Amino acid sequence: MTTPPAAKLVNFAGIKAGQRVLDVACGTGVVAVTCARRGARVSGLDLTPELLETARENANLAAVEIDFREGDAEQLPFSDSEFDAVLSQFGHMFAPRPEVAVAEMLRVLKPGGTIAFSTWPPDQFIGRAFALTASYMPPPPPGAMPPPLWGDEKIVRDRIGDRVRDISFDRGTMLTPALSPAHSRTMIERSAGPMIQLVEMLSKNDPAKLAQYRREYDALTTEYLQDNQVHQQFLMTRAVKK
């Protein structure tokens, strides 16, 4: 599902052959592999070993070499000014301390280098789905920021601050095949960490509340389901480090 948006982000970032590129919270490596196939020298970092296994398999299938590492977006294991470009697709937005994550991404980026990322706007489907799911979950730790805030242009400008120039935005739409709202939700319940946790919790403790959540989620999905595709708009941000 995230493979076509990965190409949009790489195009938006202007990645070229020979550049040194870091994919933060790389997941299954769709951005990293896309960059490497263009001739960039790529590193990818993620917290989840299982996702990195898939990323390495994807890189092998594409016949590209990528330095995949297990690590934290808030503590990048790289030197200052090491990369020409630092990218993240729906990844760094989950770091609990946004100011730390963006500071690390800019630290490892060369002056004149490009930072670019894709995020979910809070007023669109995925952002609204996050808010719905969170309303059924226990309260987050104090100070934790909702990930979709990274999809608000004003908040992005505030978080990056005066450390960059030439900030620009664009939008794209991820299309996910689905035969019905329930079909879409079931796929997400089997793959998205927060929903897996919520379903497990409510299945044991409050089945009626789980049924209510599913009705609300399906109603939300209905707003974005057209011609057997769920339309999920995302925001892309690009800026140049001063």
- Percent of the chain at pLDDT > 90 equals 91
pTM for this model (two decimals)? 0.93
pLDDT single digits (tens) 158-203: 999 899 999 999 999 999 999 999 999 999 998 887 889 899 999 9
Mean pLDDT calculated for residue range 122-130: 95
* Strand ranges for the chain from DSSP E: 20-24, 41-46, 66-70, 83-89, 109-119, 164-177, 225-226, 229-241
Tokens of 28: 């299954």
Q: Give the per-residue pLDDT at 140.
A: 79
Q: Which residues contact 163 (CB under 8 A, 6 or more apart)?
A: 106, 241, 242
How confident is the model at residue 94, as a pLDDT? 93
Residue 60 is predicted with a pLDDT of 98
Can you give the pLDDT at residue 98? Answer: 93
Share of the chain above pLDDT 70, in %: 100
Q: According to the model, what pLDDT value does residue 27 have?
A: 95
For residue 1 the two structure tokens come to 């599902």
pLDDT digits (tens, 9 = 90+) for 60-81: 999 999 999 999 999 999 999 9
Render 142-202 in DSSP notation, one character per residue. TTPPPGGGGG-HHHHHHHHGGGEEEEEEEEEEEEEE-SSHHHHHHHHHTT-HHHHHHHHHH
Contact, 85 vs 24, CB < 8 A? no
Average pLDDT of the residues of the chain: 95
Long-range contacts of 199-205 (CB under 8 A, 24+ apart): 201/137, 202/136
Q: How far is CA 239 from the centre of its chain?
A: 17
3-121+141-174+234-241 homologous superfamily: Vaccinia Virus protein VP39 (3.40.50.150)
Whole-number Å distance between alpha carbons of 148 and 168: 18
Q: Please, is 81 exposed, middle or buried when counting C-beta atoms within 10 Å of its C-beta (0-12, 13-18, 19+)? A: middle
Under 8 Å between Cβ of 83 and 22: yes
Q: Are 112 and 240 in contact (CB under 8 A)?
A: yes
- Domain range summary for the chain, segments of one domain joined by +: 3-121+141-174+234-241
pLDDT tens-digit series, residues 22-54: 999 999 999 999 999 999 999 999 999 999 999
CA atoms 218, 6, 31, 88: torsion sign: negative
